[in-house]
Chain A
Amino acid sequence: MSEWALLQNYLVVGALLFGLGLVGLLVRRNLIVMFLCAEMMLQGVSLSLVAWGRYHGDWGGQIFVVFMIAVAACEAAIALALILMLAKQTGSLDVAIWQDLREEGQAPFVDRGLPGHTAGTQKWPTLTPAGIEPQADEDESNHRSQI
């Protein structure tokens, strides 16, 4: 397999990762999931960078990736702290509750119908589907003060 074809494979995978992350960011409403999707986009970029670096025989790409990972870690720290604070404030991880700031006179986005519950016996641990009140059981809520 030539270098060029190998590169193409890597690039396609990187682009797929990036695309998946992008779509996830756009369609998911849970703040944590959205952040994870953004991280996935960064991984796609990392893969591309490494692939290009190998193609050119240059270390720059890999160094870049190392820095990216470091920055992503910072962002993760900030993100998790932020999300925690927001969740404490509102008791919800749904991003759609954050739409008070908008142009005057524009109608807010309202769920037409909630996605149905995923059937299954196992209820925990799951990430609450966005848009609905998380149904924590009694014990759980007694055990932990907040989500």
Chain B
Amino acid sequence: MPVDLETILILVPEGALILSATALFVLGAADRRRSWWPVCATLPLLFALVMVVRDWGRPVLYSGPLIQDATGDTGRLLSVVLGLVMVLMAWRQTRRKLATEFFGGLLMVVAGLMLVSRANDLVFLFLGTELVSIPTYMLLFLGKRNRASSEATVKYFFLSLLASALFLYGVSFVYGMSGTTLLVGSGDLLGIRDKLPEIMQSQIGGLLPLGLVLVLAGLGFKITAVPFHFYAPDVYQGTTNVNAAFLACAPKIAGILALTRIVVNVVPAEFYLGAKLVIVLAIVTMTVGNVCALWQTHVRRLMAYSSIAHAGYLLIGLALGLASASSGGLHGLSAMLFYLVLYVVATLGTFGAFAYVRSRGEEAEHLDDLAGLSQTHAPIAAMLAVCMLSLAGIPPLAGFWGKLTLFSGAVELAFDMTHPMRGWFAVLAVAGALNAAIAAAYYLRVILVMYFKPPHSDSPVTADHGLQTVVAICSVLLVLIGADPGRLLDAIEPQAVRARQVPVEPELGMNAPDGEQIPE
């Protein structure tokens, strides 16, 4: 299909990011001073932020492979903010000689995330996810030059490759059934979503479950869903705290956004098989994550299992989105996006605090390195405690509202007498509640160590104001959102509602990418 100026124009932020990244890679060879490359990385991010904010809430803009809609807006904003926060975290934490590569890679990833959040085409989706993955391999390798870091990179690289292959194979089935790479069609141009209902009846319709499982496998790797989670603990443990923060957020955002695009938008409403699959994945994921986290003494490994568990909670939202599609309820999707935002904020704060704490000159690794933090660095300890409590879902904090919206959605469906899957959701709600209880144990253990164990004699900190700022912003945000969750939820809710709306006609004057199909 022809690509015109409008389509190019709506890609301006992404393009700017990629160009800046390229410039960084090239120019980085000339100058190795760390102090000023972060600024160079910040500028395009700020530019992208301005563009995204300008586009926020604009009417749905449809241009074939790209769609500018509500999910896209939310995802893009989240991506750019993540990029900015990561720059702040990495400002002093990257190795001086590798700063340009690191920040360039970071910009690439942000561009990839922004592409994923707007993709309306399998090819674009694939490109976006790969644009997230490939720089990630690099970032992982850049973090530390030791055995553990190398091992983490190897594991992530090969398993990610495997996951990509699975995802692509699943995509090939999806494409094969529908005969188009377009996800949501417009006008005469039919997308997969428009064709799937009739395909379901045909002989090749039976391939849909296979394709769905494979796609879920590929994207499940990104969001660390069990059984595609194996890499996470090892990789988090092997890499630096900043990289771990990045790994816990960026792929998860990409995965969730891609799942929203490809699964929720595409799968027909009556196709409950998908919801069942997601429910099973959700229950297994959160349970495995939580029970394994109980045993951990390594902070990043603990957080890896925690992030696995949170992937399980996020999948609840996906299941809700799949199962309530027919009844038009989009509670699940907005709850999932809401939870994703809270998770990202709390995780960034937590890893920021971990990075801030040093033990014997090294990064904090063992849980005991945090011992007595409340006495040596009271503010950081308090803020880390806020993040932990929010992740655990303790009431006044933001995390509680995230869990509440997710679980209440499940409970709502469980009590909906007409819903064919109410039993499944009842089990899901119970499992979620039990898991929240289990999870409290290890989050509170971190607080226990910080507040009730005597401090080590030597626990200096990196005098890193960037990290301090990040941790402070995150914890304050958690408290504020906890105090008034409705504001954020209200901002997300209509976005999610619009996510399923598809323009039958493109907005007048905004674009005419497929003008030949639309009668003038």
Contact = CB atoms under 8 A, between A and B. Distances in A.
Chains A, B in direct contact (C-beta < 8 Å): yes
Contacts, number: 123
B238 A101 contact: yes
Contacts of A104: 295, 297
Interface in A97-131: 98-104
A56 B172 CA distance: 13
A22 B161 CA distance: 11
B175 A42 contact: no
Contact of B148 (A34, A41, A56, A101): A101
A67 B171 CA distance: 14
Given A79-B157, A95-B154, A100-B151, A60 B162 contact: no
A96 B123 CA distance: 35
B169 A44 contact: yes
Interface string A40-59: 01101100110111011110
Interface in A80-95: 82, 85-86, 89, 95
Contacts of A74: 130, 134
A60 B49 CA distance: 33
Nearest to A97: B151
Contact of B175 (A61, A85, A89): A61
Interface stretch (B176-184, B274-282, B466-474): B176-184
A36 B164 CA distance: 14
B134 A52 contact: no
B151 A85 contact: no
Contacts of A42: 164-165, 168
Interface residues of B, number: 41
A98 B237 CA distance: 14
Interface in B143-170: 147-148, 150-155, 157-158, 161-162, 164-165, 168-169
Nearest to A52: B176
Given A18-B169, A45-B172, A60-B181, A78 B137 contact: yes
Q: Which of A55, A86, A98, A101 has the most chain B CB atoms inside 10 A of its CB? A: A101
A2 to B, nearest CB: 12
Given A18-B165, A25-B158, A56 B179 contact: yes
A75 B134 contact: yes
Interface of A is mostly: helix
A34 B130 CA distance: 19
Contacts of A57: 179
Interface string A64-84: 100110010011001100100
B354 interface: no
A71 B124 CA distance: 12
Interface of B is mostly: helix
B1 to A, nearest CB: 10
B162 A25 contact: yes
B180 A60 contact: yes
Given A38-B161, A49-B172, A61-B175, A85 B141 contact: yes
A35 B162 CA distance: 10
Contacts of B297: 104
B148 A82 contact: no
Contacts of A45: 165, 168-169, 172
Interface string B108-152: 000000000000001100110010001001100100000110111
Contacts of A48: 169, 172-173, 176
Given A64-B126, A78-B138, A89-B147, A98 B169 contact: no
Contacts of B123: 60, 63-64, 67
A24 to B, nearest CB: 11
Contact of A49 (B127, B137, B175, B237): B175
Nearest to B129: A71
A32 B126 CA distance: 24
Nearest to B154: A98
A68 B168 contact: yes
B179 A58 contact: yes
Contacts of A56: 176, 179-180
B44 interface: no
Q: Which of B137, B150, B165, B233 has the most chain A CB atoms inside 10 A of its CB? A: B165
A31 B154 contact: yes
A31 B155 CA distance: 11
A40 B80 CA distance: 35
B180 A58 contact: yes
B158 A38 contact: yes
Interface string B164-205: 110011011101100111100000000000000000000000
Interface string B8-40: 000000000000000000000000000000000
A121 to B, nearest CB: 34
Contacts of B130: 71, 74-75
B127 A101 contact: no
24 contacts: A14-B172, A31-B154, A35-B161, A41-B165, A45-B165, A52-B176, A56-B180, A58-B180, A60-B179, A61-B175, A63-B123, A64-B122, A67-B126, A68-B126, A71-B127, A74-B134, A82-B153, A86-B150, A89-B147, A95-B154, A101-B233, A101-B237, A102-B234, A104-B297
Interface of B: 122-123, 126-127, 130, 134, 137-138, 141, 147-148, 150-155, 157-158, 161-162, 164-165, 168-169, 171-173, 175-176, 179-182, 233-235, 237-238, 295, 297
